[in-house]
Amino acid sequence: MECMKKFHFKSVTQLANLKLSVKSAAIVLASSSLISALLGLFRDRLLNSYYLGTYPTGIDAYTAAFTIPDFMFFILTSGALAVSFIPVFNQRLASGNKKSAWELSSSLLNLLAILTLITSILIMIFADPLIRYVVSPGLDESGTILAINMTRVIAINPFLFSIATVLTSIQQAVRRFVFYAFAPTIYNIGIIIGITCFTNGINLFGVQIFEGGIMGVALGVVLGAILQLIVALIGMFGLGFDYEFKINWKNQGFRTILRLLPPRSLDQGIDYVNSIVSTNLSSRMGPGAVRSFDQATTLHTVPVSLIGVAISTAFFPKLTEELGKGNKRDFYNTFRQALRTIVWIALPVSVIAFFGRGYVVSFISNIGNNDSNGTMASILGTLCIAIFARSIFHIASRGFYAYQDTKTPFIVSVIAIGLTVALSVIAYFVGWGVDGLGIAQSIGALIEIVILLFILQRRSKGEILDAGFWKGLGRMLFATLICGCVAFSMTKFVPLMATDTSLVITIPKFLLISVVSFASYIAASYFLNLAEATPIINYFKKILFKNAK
């Protein structure tokens, strides 16, 4: 038994110490994102089947309850930490100054833990006015009270998430992505436990300590956050993290991070203003509108995570290393390679998502009424441009973060978000409904990446987006046109029927549409001499010739 314990601990330590190449890291991150996304879809399908058709006010309240805790986490930690922390941390490691690296890590961990704990307490105290007057003034009184109570339960999440994020950022900085990648998956498992178990009540030694209901889902959210923190802690095995229970204000790396953190934190906060405004406006559009918009937004972020986040996260450490060594030419080539890869994948995915939006919505809503599904599908259609734009945003913004420039993306975000909010408000008063909110999101996201790439191109004096990139983009667009025609034809060949509520029916149909459409895109890309398609074609050639032989 003792040998087994040692073996398991050794295996976990070896897994935590696994340093991955860019390609392997991208595969691990994309795979974990896919697993997390599938669990997320299963989670939402369960939740919608329980409440969307029978208790739309309750599920709107549950959705609204996340707004303020998530906003505070994004503005204090989230992506701001990764892009500000990793370049500085890697500089210390590259110079052999591990002591400074661990000092700044401990200081940042302690500072964020204190800030987010205070924030969580404040959210609990002021949940009532925040929900009533800022987040969801359109909810009725019962929905408002429910949203207030659930907000107070979920308020602990910024504290738990921040600690986990610091720990996983350390792992990401040294290219150890395994536990970093799968931590969000555990979070979804916690919520699923809340839906399937806690909603039926909690009994302890024969005494019912919790009556159940949709509030049980909020308890599952907290459970998921705790489990995610545990996974992040396990991932620290073998890194030699020398933790100190103090804040070393004199550490130059820590002070550099504190200087870089505010612009990116404000950038994250400005981005989340979109969610607050959208929740506020959609709460005025009738029961279920908040949930419908939230679900469509969640669906459109799945491919963004699989493509933009996974690929750019895998490339980011390499980009910072190349700039740290002064290899600007290598930096331009690596950035261009990452950008082309994201564009090449995001274009057909956006088109397939548009034509297959009804199938996608059926994955998470099979019991809600037809109006709810139709509304979600319509919103998702308006967000397809945002899928493409936001996938590119993650690599475009990291082009600045590699230079330790967090101010420029912040200024651009202020412009883009301001425009998005203005368009959302106009859409509401014009009467475009929740579709108008989706259109505003897509326009804002597209303008943001255009400005970011334009500035990067100017700074590199035209070297990042060279003539080869623009020629390749033109060919990709032509291949996408072919893909779109095939996808449209396939939706007519295998139509979505009103009776198609089972995943056994809808998933095969969507997979058939997707596979045939994407195959046409790859074939078109290959004949148009796009380098991105060559490895895939060669792989299938190898398999076919091997079988033939």
Distance of CA 279 to the CA centre of its chain: 18
Residue 290 confidence (pLDDT) above 80: yes
Which of these, 379, 381, 376, 378, lies nearest to 362 by C-alpha position? 376
> What are the DSSP calls for 112-155, one per residue?
HHHHHHHHHHHHHHHHHHHIIIII-TTS-HHHHHHHHHHHHHHT
**Model pLDDT for residues 474-533, shown as the tens digit of each residue:** 999 999 999 999 999 999 998 888 777 777 888 899 999 999 999 999 999 999 999 888
Range 462-481 average pLDDT: 92
Both tokens of 281, joined, read 């406006």
> In terms of C-beta density within 10 A (0-12 exposed, 13-18 middle, 19 or more buried), how is residue 33 classed?
buried
Q: Are the CB atoms for 283 and 138 separated by under 8 Å?
A: yes
Kindly list the domain boundaries of the chain, sorted by start residue. Answer: 15-262, 288-549
Both tokens of 99, joined, read 């002591």
Residue 371 dihedral angles phi and psi, to the nearest 5°: -65, -40
**Model pLDDT for residues 130-184, shown as the tens digit of each residue:** 999 999 999 999 999 999 999 999 999 999 999 998 888 888 777 777 777 777 7
Higher pLDDT, 80 or 72: 72
Q: Identify the pLDDT of residue 1.
A: 45
CB atoms < 10 A from the CB of 42, how many? 16
Residue 341 confidence (pLDDT) above 80: yes
Rounded Cα–Cα distance for residues 514 and 216 (Å): 37
Share of the chain above pLDDT 70, in %: 90
**Model pLDDT for residues 176-220, shown as the tens digit of each residue:** 777 777 777 889 999 999 998 888 777 766 666 666 788 999 999
